[in-house]
Amino acid sequence: LVAQSHPHHQTIVRLSKTVAFGGEELVIIGGPCAVESLEQMETVAQQLKFAPVQALRGGVYKPRTSPYAFQGMGEAGLEVLAQVRSQYNIPVVTEVMSISQIEAIATHADMLQVGSRNMQNFDLLKALGQAGKPILLKRGLAATIEEFVMAAEYIVSHGNPDVVMCERGIRSFDNYTRNVLDLGAVAALKQITHLPVIVDPSHAVGKRELVAPVAKAAVACGADGLIIECHPEPEKSVSDARQALSLEDMVNLVASLKPVAVAV
Ligand code: PEP
Ligand code: MN
């Protein structure tokens, strides 16, 4: 179902009347790794809305390596997202980790993110076929392109055609960059599926000073959008602080992407 057909087809995944992946416009999703407070998300929305960033991100259920690390605000975080969403009239994206969370998240968010660690959680993927909301599917930590495409196939074959694929780097021998961004996969996915493909440069490189150049390369490579972590006080981020951009750097990055997008 997700394979490219002849003649060439492009799926458009719509988040709102004005925001859609796979069309002419590059879609930028920005925001912190984790929702930490209403004030934090209001500051982010205020500063980014006119960048323009077309959607906000923020995890409220966080898949942390350590069980002792901050696990996310949970339902209270969903309420924060719901509030900024309506106050600033901007779509929001947040991660779903289990089937039991789908209903509440789908009520408050415009797009449900499947994190790398759940890319092959097949029961979750099947259930998301019935979520009634677009899905942002991130590539697994060490997933092949074939496995990634088949994960998308699970969601689509269970009833949800609105899947956006996200390359976020894969594990390799060198962890100087947190992961290794696979731009070849972006080019390949654009050819072998009709789904929109976006890139997460933040989790790919893991260091804020490397995010901007890699983001530009992703756009030059044909990505339909980007998801980038940024924070009002990057060093104070409760998770993924090292890769968080300041809001000012985020606004500057968005401006610098325009000429690249036009050239592609
Ligand atoms: C995230 O987006 O904050 C996240 C946990 O990403 P990934 O699943 O790609 O590691
Ligand atoms: Mn993160």
Is residue 6 assigned to a domain?
Answer: no
Q: Which ligand is nearest to the CA of 115?
A: 1
Instruction: Provide the pLDDT for residue 70.
Output: 97
| Rounded CA separation 75/147 (Å) | 32
Ligand 1 atom with least separation from CA of 117: 8
ipTM: 0.99
CA 239 to centroid of ligand 2, rounded, Å = 6
For residue 195, what is the domain's CATH number? 3.20.20.70
Q: Crossing angle for the helix pair 38-48 and 247-263, nearest 10 degrees?
A: 40
Tell me which residue range forms the domain holding 202: 13-263
- Name the one residue in this structure whose structure tokens are 């890139």: 199
Per this entry, what is the length of the chain?
264
Is 240 a member of any domain? yes
- Select from 92, 165, 168, 198 the residue to mutate for testing ligand 1; criterion: most ligand atoms less than 8 Å from CB: 168
Q: Provide CB contacts within 8 A for 243, sequence distance 6+.
A: 178, 202, 203, 205, 206, 207, 208, 211, 229
Position 167 in a domain: yes
Kindly state whether residue 218 falls inside one of the protein's structural domains: yes
CA of 217 to the centre of ligand 2 (A): 20
Strands (E), 11-57: 13-14, 20-21, 27-31, 55-57
- Region class of 130: left (phi > 0), else alpha (psi between -120 and 50), else beta: alpha
Cβ-contact 117, 80 below 8 angstroms: no
The verdict on residue 115 lying in a domain is yes
For residue 105, give the nearest of 70, 135, 65 by alpha carbon. Answer: 135
Residue 1 lies in a domain: no
CA neighbours closer than 13 Å in the CB half-sphere of residue 153: 12
Which residue minimizes the CA distance to atom 6 of ligand 1?
115
Nearest CA to ligand 1 atom 10: 116
What is the dihedral sign for C-alpha 111, 112, 117, 119?
negative
Q: Could you read off the pLDDT of 74-95 as tens digits, one per residue?
A: 999 999 999 999 999 999 999 9
Instruction: Give yes or no for residue 15 having a pLDDT over 90.
Output: yes
Name the residue with the closest Cα to ligand 1, atom 9: 116
- Measuring from atom 5 of ligand 1, which residue has the nearest CA? 115
Residue 82 has a CB neighbour count (10 Å cut-off) of 14
Q: What rounded mean pLDDT belongs to the chain?
A: 97
Distance 8 CA to ligand 2 centre (A): 34
Domain assignment present for 4: no
Mean pLDDT confidence for 9-23: 97
Helix/strand/coil for 65 = coil
pLDDT digits (tens, 9 = 90+) for 104-151: 999 999 999 999 999 999 999 999 999 999 999 999 999 999 999 999
Q: Is residue 29 pLDDT above 90, yes or no?
A: yes
Q: How many domains does the chain have?
A: 1
pLDDT of residue 6: 80
Q: Which atom of ligand 1 is nearest to the CA of 168?
A: 9
Q: Which tokens hold the place of 195?
A: 């789904």
- pTM here is 0.98
Report the atom number in ligand 1 closest to the C-alpha of 62.
Answer: 5
